[in-house]
Amino acid sequence: MSASHPFAGDPVFDLHVGGKMEVRATVALGGADDLSLAYTPGVARVCEAIAEDPSMTQHYTWVPNTVAVVTDGTAVLGLGDIGPAAAMPVMEGKAVLFKQFGGVDGVPICLATTDVEEIIETVVRLAPSFGGINLEDISAPRCFEIEDRLKELLDIPVFHDDQHGTAVVALAALKNALTLTGRNPESTRVVISGAGAAGVAIAKILLEAGIKDLAVTDRKGVVHSGRNDLTPVKRELADLTADRTGRTGTLADALAGADVYMGVSGGTVPEEDVARMAPDAIIFAMANPTPEVHPDVAHRHARVVATGRSDFPNQINNVLAFPGIFRGAFDAHATSITEGMKLAAAEAIAGLVGDALTEEYVIPSPFDPRVGPAVAAAVADAARRDGVARR
């Protein structure tokens, strides 16, 4: 490794020299015979077979095991709108995680546009090269329309990980936290702070999982239809959540007596508001790098505490979900990723904790080797049940 780069000696920059990934051939080219099979003239026969039957790409190309990791650089980690070039190290990292934890080949694609129509058109034009599309770090509310439109236009899985990966893992941890505290979903009161990509997706998956009393808050308080400042996405969210229980007011109002707090918003929740939650409360403060409720504070008032950080117990980490979800979708040659597939992924992740369930262990480690295969198997089965599998 060259020591001449500008930040030589910094271990983070040293690791990133030349990027974190490369493309390698899976076949040997030892001579003319190998070349004639891998390239001309032999490859022409494979091309003709695919031209006659495009489904042959599933057997004779890397397409069915390859996902495009697509961003416009507008919502990168906790850094915000830093642009497509600066987003590349994160997209490379995501591709490495796909390979390490799911055996899926990821290709980072950073787009030099933030226009919704241009992003959609570009991804649609690129789609024949990929078995799936993983949208990443695209700001809300644009991300919702982009994902929805691409799902309509493409017959391959489209998945916005900032939404659904977070939601799957949060649900998995919540399932075990509810079991530990003796609660059932139907009678559990949940408050989510943050009505962006992750907050909306968490709300929707919790409703699918049986939560009835749910309030989502943004900077102006509970998202409900009595407000006159709601986007179309928030209007739909209000109808699905607070409108059904009549909840209004501030985050502090919503937290009074609540069983569960889930933070995907940043900022800080005052300790006096946390203290008003129900006994044996559950707090998932998932903002990075600074949780909305510091674990030391949360533990004074809650029985189960989780964060998005790796240096505290119970890390809500998307890597528990997205590699296995795409692995399972690819194994089933699924045309889409359904709500049933997401719920199955959450159930599989939660189930791995088993009898080892404690306050400090409601979610498996990202390095638990059982996670990827368990999620993949559950997702593939769900794809077949939901009628979206082609094998």
d(CA 114, CA 117): 9
Q: What is the CA radius of gyration of the chain?
A: 22
Mean pLDDT of 212-239: 97
Please indicate whether residue 94 is annotated as part of the active site.
Answer: yes
pLDDT at 257: 98
In the chain, what is the straight-line distance between the N-terminal and C-terminal CA atoms, in Å? 45
Structure tokens at 112: 């030099």
Q: Do residues 188 and 361 lie in contact, with contact meaning Cβ atoms separated by under 8 Å?
A: no
d(CA 363, CA 188): 19
Q: Which candidate in 20, 94, 261, 342 is catalytic?
A: 94
- Reduced to 3 states (helix: H, G, I; strand: E, B; else coil), residue 305 is strand
pLDDT of 168 higher than 50 = yes
Cα→Cα distances 153→19, 156, 158, 312, Å: 33, 9, 10, 41
CA 267 to chain centre: 21
Mean pLDDT of 33-48: 96
Quick one: pLDDT band at residue 91, thresholds 50, 70, 90?
A: very high
Summarize pLDDT for 289-348 with one digit per residue, the tens.
899 999 999 999 999 999 999 999 999 999 999 999 999 999 999 999 999 999 999 999
Element (H, E) at 183: none
pLDDT at 1: 45
Mean pLDDT of 192-211: 97
d(CA 303, CA 259): 10
pLDDT at 4: 83
Give 50's contacts (C-beta < 8 A, 6+ positions apart). 56, 57, 60, 61
d(CA 315, CA 306): 6
Q: How many CA atoms lie within 13 A of 200 on its CB side?
A: 22
pLDDT of 7 higher than 60 = yes
Quick one: pLDDT band at residue 3, thresholds 50, 70, 90?
A: low
d(CA 226, CA 238): 9
Own/partner contacts of 140-148, CB < 8 Å, gap of 24 or more, are: 140/75, 140/196, 140/197, 140/200, 140/233, 141/231, 141/232, 141/233, 142/74, 142/114, 142/116, 143/75, 143/197, 144/197, 144/200, 144/233, 145/116, 146/116, 146/119, 146/120
Q: Tokens 């986007």 correspond to what residue?
A: 231
Cα→Cα distances 181→177, 188, 281, 377, Å: 6, 11, 8, 29
pTM above 0.85, yes or no: yes
pLDDT of 70 higher than 60 = yes
- Percentage of the chain exceeding pLDDT 70: 99
Structure tokens at 96: 């490495």
Please indicate whether residue 234 is annotated as part of the active site.
Answer: no
pLDDT of 115 higher than 70 = yes
What angle separates helix 161-180 from helix 339-351, to the nearest 10 degrees?
A: 50
The residue count for the chain: 391
Q: Do residues 264 and 205 lie in contact, with contact meaning Cβ atoms separated by under 8 Å?
A: no
**Furthest CA-CA distance within the chain:** 75
